[in-house]
Amino acid sequence: MRNRDRLNANEVEQLDQVRLACRDISRVCDLARAFTDLVRNRRGQLLTDWIRQAELSDIVSVAKFAAFLRQDLDAVTAGLTLEWSSGVVEGHVNRVKTIKRAMYGRASFRLLRIRILTRP
pLDDT in tens, 10-47: 998 998 898 899 888 889 999 999 999 999 899 999 99
Count of structural domains within the chain: 2
Q: What does the buried/exposed string (b/e) look like for 30-69 if buried means 16 or more CB atoms within 10 Å of the residue's CB?
A: ebeeebeebeeeeebebbeebbebbeebeeeebbebbeeb
Q: Do residue 71 and residue 101 come from a single domain?
A: no
For residues 118 and 3, the model is more confident at: 118
* Domain span including residue 34: 4-81
Q: Do residue 15 and residue 69 come from a single domain?
A: yes
What is the C-alpha separation between 42 and 3, in angstroms, rounded?
16
Q: Do residue 9 and residue 36 come from a single domain?
A: yes
Mean pLDDT on 87-111: 89
What is the C-alpha separation between 29 and 20, in angstroms, rounded?
12
Which pTM was predicted? 0.67
- End-to-end Cα distance, the chain: 36
pLDDT in tens, 47-87: 999 999 999 988 999 999 999 999 999 999 998 998 887 88
Element (H, E) at 92: helix 87-103
Q: Do residue 61 and residue 101 come from a single domain?
A: no
Q: Do residue 76 and residue 97 come from a single domain?
A: no
Q: Do residue 77 and residue 92 come from a single domain?
A: no
Q: Do residue 74 and residue 92 come from a single domain?
A: no
| pLDDT score for 120 | 67
